Amino acid sequence: MARHQKVVVSGLVLLALAFFMVFEIGFQRAWGYEIIDTTIGFDQVPLNISSDFEIQRPYDVPQSARYSFVDGVHELWVYSTDKPHTPTSNTKPRTEIRILGHNYSSGVWQFEGYGYVPKGTSGVCIMQIFGASGDHHATTLMLRVYNGTLKYYNTDLVLDPNIYDKWFQLNVIHDLEAKKVMVFIDGVHKLYVNDRGGNAHHFKFGVYAQNNDSYYMESRWKGIKIFKKC
């Protein structure tokens, strides 16, 4: 190829690339799918997988019967017929990781993790912000899966209509000053709701049976990080 032809060809390639990028960004904006780095302006809080992760599971089975940690992936599962996590609890069965040592009562906090929910898991909470005010609520946020749909509690607020069998990035921001909770899936803003008060919060993830729970429930998690606004 002659030199001037090469210049023309690479110029065309650049032009195509630029056009594609502008189109792509315009497309995302037009559909409200702007991808956001939600951690800008936040500091990462150090997490220790041994001392900061408390695994809750049905009290009468060994941990290895409901939880595994292989190649950086936490796999948590539970059966609808399982016992609660303590002999005195009246709650439904759960296998959940509770973040210890990072209870918070003020400021702006963020949970980040990559989650995976296999097809069939239903009627279950996979992530929660524990803590609320008053006697009526224990939590400020629950993300639940019903028949493949990821929802805010058992409401019509849908975060993802097809959550099964794929890894997704989850970012949850709790702003205690504004009393708001924001949720992002794969960097796209999906939920903006009021929090439910309270002054002792922590993050949890895994599987916690709710209404209409399937017999088997499972979720997988990796890349768990906690951030606090600087």
Ligand X SMILES: *[C@@H]1O[C@H](CO)[C@@H](O)[C@H](O)[C@H]1NC(C)=O
Q: Which stretch binds ligand X (CB under 6 A): 31-39, 45-53, 107-115, 187-195?
A: 45-53
Identified binder of ligand X from the candidate list 1, 30, 50, 135, rule CB under 6 A: 50
Looking at 37, 105, 212, 223, which residue binds ligand X (CB under 6 A)? 212
Given 103, 105, 133, 194, the residue binding ligand X (CB under 6 A): 103
Count residues binding ligand X (CB under 6 A). Answer: 12
Map residues 167-206 to x or -, x wherever contact with ligand X holds by CB under 6 A: ---------------------------------x-x----
What is the smallest separation between the CB atom of 102 and ligand X, expressed in angstroms?
9
- Eight-state DSSP code of residue 64: G
Among 31, 32, 51, 135, binds ligand X (CB under 6 A): 51
CB closer to ligand X, 25 vs 138: 138
Tokens standing for residue 146: 């019903």
- CA gap 136, 124 in Å, rounded: 20
**Phi, psi dihedrals of residue 137, rounded to the nearest 5°:** -130, 145
Q: In whole angstroms, give the CA distance from residue 13 to residue 18.
A: 9
For position 133 contacting ligand X by CB under 6 A, the verdict is: no
Give the whole-angstrom CA distance, residue 108 versus residue 226.
11
Distances (CA, A) of 207 to 129, 171, 203, 221: 13, 18, 13, 11
The answer to whether 35 touches 188, Cβ cutoff 8 Å, is: yes
Tally: H helices and E strands in the chain: 1, 15
Residues binding ligand X (CB under 6 A)? 48, 50-51, 103, 123, 131, 146-147, 200, 202, 211-212
